[in-house]
Structure 1
């Protein structure tokens, strides 16, 4: 794969992008049509599908849209996927009583719903297709530790897949609110305020892989924060890992002062409550976010002392067959760019698996 040219000219939209994905948090807080509730019949169908799967003796890896049919719920899931990919870019499904089920049963339900949205992708070098967002007491100063394994605040970022989903099993004692922000809005606002910094975000920036390095690749990848490709703004961003690449890899390309200022302003704007949307998770909530035009984050939290009460979310990285085309440079992070078969993290040691305990 050719090296990404640094500071080379890249295409940009001529002006503001707008559209349904360009929203502001306070407006979304007033119009909560993105928060959908299961009907009683849909919950009964999901419950029957859970028990049919359990009775079959099959393992989680066998779950597909075909093997986990949800005919009543499918129209709602199809509409939600269209809204994710072509509308506001996020959705919440509420009303699943997760307390009624074991973690294995809840995972089956979540994978069954997720399978109707896209294929599952590996979320780390261990090959976990079902991720666990939980404080494992790890030290973020360790260069292989990722923020979701701690109780530290997550800065606004994207994940390396088309759609990321979270199922809330248990909430923290306090904190841990989910926050999302439209990267289309951030682009348009930055164009309005600082067009010079907007342009800086269309040049590749080295991003730390946190020790999860695919064969033949460097310990960082070079992709612009903003890419204008086939008439769409596509975003890939992890400011914490752009900064750690600068600190940890002396041989990676150095950011210019303008590029540092650009990501600082991007973070400042994403954290502005006039732009972002806060979302409190309840047990059983399923949140889905389109990574290509949304950033997401999480606040610090304090957990319960009792192990069985601690905050715990299940996560899916999904690859829909209806997803958008991606810029060629994304191959450094996504591997294949084939729609319906891309994204995730795979190294030489990766073995794909589903696990029911955080590790």
Structure 2
């Protein structure tokens, strides 16, 4: 069984300049900058990056070029997915927006390329290599790229009869969250938005805006979030889950980092939390409610079109999803998902939990980039049961 983390408060959680030998006694100051936004302050004109016909043609050419190499998809990078200098610069500038700007960017225009399933994977991975070259691979589910889709109508194999589906495989609404220790940047490629009136609307909210509000009106919530005593339930393959303590609020040289996801703390619609896990304290439950309330207050609906590739800062911007589809038939809604890191612009992580943030990017780990999602259970398709 993996070693659990200490319940001692994360040193860097409360103050960015703290050392590993002292316990800080105050929260970091209010943050400023373009990543502090709310509602209509962030609209599509500020984050949509449009591709013209020549750029789409260049991407299609790069896809064909890679296919002709006959290499495994894990070999996709800038050298095997060649783009013209102007387009390469355009894509790399997205990373600056994610780390120093609003924390959100949407690349639009790929739908006209009419990629088949394999070509879509190659294009998504190739484009992302210019935005943030490092791809995260979950050491638990051994996934680099996953399919966000409705798997509730799949025939359940005998071996998976006692295994629930993660949030990425069901149609239920998802509260605001960030994907804990999954990667710095969340990347989603909208292969099929499910059609009109299907639901599944996506929402984003600035945690930095939430942080400033709580700092002024309810700082005790932030203090609770920064304590490393949140009881996360981590699933294991063919074994009982284990308990890992940690904070939900960190700092990176003054930058608040939120890693708050409810499923491993409360359970999810398809994956119950083990009765052996400790319950959350009243202060922690209050913190969850306070963050969710403010997240909804400051949220904006993400402008989404078929063929979009969405990039979101997973450290400072929370995301949520409305329910979609119906219970009678499978929804066609289908997104491809990866988590990324830009080695040059990545925020420094707090020393006490740096290994947790860095683990998905371990060098040498085999990358799995499946074209078809043939196993949505994957013996719990995410260690912390979130999508």
Common fold: TM-score over 0.5: yes
The answer to whether 1:4 aligns with 2:27 is no
CA distance in 1, matches of 2:205, 2:213: 12
Look up the match of 1:256: 281
Instruction: Quote how far apart the aligned CAs of 1:92 are.
Output: 0.4
When normalised by structure 1's length, the TM-score is: 0.85
Look up the match of 1:93: 107
Instruction: Quote how far apart the aligned CAs of 1:99 are.
Output: 6.1
CA-based RMSD of the aligned residues comes to: 3.1
The answer to whether 1:295 aligns with 2:308 is no
The answer to whether 1:228 aligns with 2:228 is no
CA distance in 1, matches of 2:312, 2:324: 21
Look up the match of 2:302: 279
SS across alignment from 2:145: strand
Higher mean C-alpha displacement, 8-17 vs 231-240: 8-17
Look up the match of 2:88: 74
Look up the match of 1:162: 184
Q: Contact 1:114–1:316 at 8 Å: present in 2 too?
A: no
Instruction: Structure 1 unaligned segments of length 5 or more: list them.
Output: none
Look up the match of 2:371: 356
The answer to whether 1:197 aligns with 2:227 is no
Q: 1:329 to 1:251 in 2, by over 3 A?
A: farther
Instruction: Quote how far apart the aligned CAs of 1:218 are.
Output: 6.7
Look up the match of 1:150: 170
1:301-312 matched pairs, under 5 angstroms: 301-302=324-325, 310-312=332-334
Q: 1:32 to 1:123 in 2, by over 3 A?
A: farther
Instruction: Quote how far apart the aligned CAs of 1:107 are.
Output: 1.0
Higher mean C-alpha displacement, 2-11 vs 64-73: 2-11
Look up the match of 1:208: 233
Instruction: Quote how far apart the aligned CAs of 1:304 are.
Output: 10
CA distance in 1, matches of 2:347, 2:68: 37
Instruction: Quote how far apart the aligned CAs of 1:244 are.
Output: 2.7
1:35-46 matched pairs, under 5 angstroms: 35-46=48-59
Instruction: Quote how far apart the aligned CAs of 1:241 are.
Output: 2.4
SS across alignment from 1:32: helix
Q: Contact 1:124–1:212 at 8 Å: present in 2 too?
A: no
Per-residue CA deviations over 1:165-196 (Å, capped at 9, x if unaligned) read 00001112411111111111111111222122
Instruction: Quote how far apart the aligned CAs of 1:123 are.
Output: 4.3
CA distance in 1, matches of 2:285, 2:186: 27
Higher mean C-alpha displacement, 14-23 vs 203-212: 203-212
CA distance in 2, matches of 1:278, 1:244: 26
The answer to whether 1:103 aligns with 2:117 is yes
CA distance in 1, matches of 2:32, 2:47: 19
Q: Contact 1:177–1:298 at 8 Å: present in 2 too?
A: yes
CA distance in 1, matches of 2:190, 2:210: 28
CA distance in 1, matches of 2:325, 2:4: 45
Q: Contact 1:182–1:295 at 8 Å: present in 2 too?
A: yes
Instruction: Quote how far apart the aligned CAs of 1:209 are.
Output: 2.7
Per-residue CA deviations over 1:217-276 (Å, capped at 9, x if unaligned) read 97343221111232221111102322239x73555555321121011111121122xx11
Task: Report how many residues are paired.
Answer: 343
SS across alignment from 1:222: strand
CA distance in 2, matches of 1:335, 1:72: 31
Look up the match of 1:317: 339
Q: Contact 2:265–2:273 at 8 Å: present in 1 too?
A: no
CA distance in 2, matches of 1:211, 1:310: 30
Look up the match of 2:77: 64
Instruction: Quote how far apart the aligned CAs of 1:163 are.
Output: 0.7
Instruction: Quote how far apart the aligned CAs of 1:206 are.
Output: 2.0
CA distance in 2, matches of 1:332, 1:73: 34
Per-residue CA deviations over 1:294-330 (Å, capped at 9, x if unaligned) read 11111100169886x7111111111221211112343
